[in-house]
Amino acid sequence: SQQGEEDPQALSIQEGENATMNCSYKTSINNLQWYRQNSGRGLVHLILIRSNEREKHSGRLRVTLDTSKKSSSLLITASRAADTASYFCATDPTGANSKLTFGKGITLSVRP
Amino acid sequence: ETGVTQSPTHLIKTRGQQVTLRCSSQSGHNTVSWYQQALGQGPQFIFQYYREEENGRGNFPPRFSGLQFPNYSSELNVNALELDDSALYLCASSLAVTKKETQYFGPGTRLLVL
């Protein structure tokens, strides 16, 4: 089953604009991670935020986490055509195993 | 980029056959996880291996099995292939199962079952 639900399912923006993607999840987590996937290939890890953190930055990426609402957002500032990809949030649920539970993903298209 | 490699990149099999997919983890990573990603979906956790022992399994039948070797390589075996097994299979390695570390994904093997 997929715990993470990303919103919107698809997003199309102009180069230079900001892109905001949201993720909601259902159970308690150790951390939440965002990944990018180009053309159905391997996943590239973007950023990890732990359950006791509220905001984290990495370059043009800003991620927030609200554990009370069980939601996270990923902001990509000053988007580029190269940011065109699918983006997934993945949660590391509390429990015995270190598996990741992924959502269905968001397709981001950045128009040059 | 991630130091994780998978082989083959593409594979075509027929229903009922068996397949073995291979993964080479980053050096020093003692944990490997396998995921199945159907078209248009997010990856689904199959199982994880830690120090050559299975350390958790997702909702997949026993015909999905795995092995992990001391040289940081691992295998995913699928018996009695079904059409719905067609997917991208991803392996991901991480440093330690207890540290909830970032997982590093390979490029995947795309399996088509006819």
Q: Is the pLDDT of residue A7 over 90?
A: no
Q: Is the pLDDT of residue A42 over 70?
A: yes
More confident residue, B94 or A53: A53
Q: How many residues does chain B have?
A: 114
- Chain B residues touching residue A104 (CB < 8 angstroms): 40-42
Smallest Cβ–Cβ distance between B104 and the set A1, A4, A45 belongs to A45
pLDDT of residue A98: 61
pLDDT of residue A96: 52
pLDDT of residue A41: 81
pLDDT of residue B100: 56
Smallest Cβ–Cβ distance between B106 and the set A1, A42, A97 belongs to A42
CA distance A70 to B40: 24
pLDDT in 10s for each residue of chain B, 114 residues: 678 999 999 999 999 999 999 999 988 888 899 999 999 899 999 999 988 999 889 999 999 999 999 888 999 999 999 999 999 999 999 886 555 567 889 999 999 999
pLDDT of residue A73: 97
CA distance A43 to A107: 14
Q: Which of A33-42, A96-105, B62-71 has the lowest mean pLDDT?
A: A96-105
Mean pLDDT of A32-46: 90
HSE, CB side, 13 Å, CA atoms: give it for residue A37. 29
- The distance from CA B65 to its chain's CA centroid, rounded to whole angstroms, is 10
Test A2 with B42 for CB contact under 8 angstroms.
Answer: yes
| 8 A C-beta contact, residue B112 and residue B11 | yes
Test B107 with A41 for CB contact under 8 angstroms.
Answer: yes
Q: How confident is the model at residue A97 (pLDDT cuts 50, 70, 90)?
A: low
Test A101 with B106 for CB contact under 8 angstroms.
Answer: no
Please state, rounded to an integer, the average pLDDT across all residues of chain A: 91
Residue B22 CB partners (closer than 8 Å, separation 6+): B6, B7, B73, B74, B75, B76
Q: Mutate one of A51, A86, A99 to test the B interface: name it (highest B CB count within 10 A).
A: A99
| 8 A C-beta contact, residue B57 and residue B69 | no
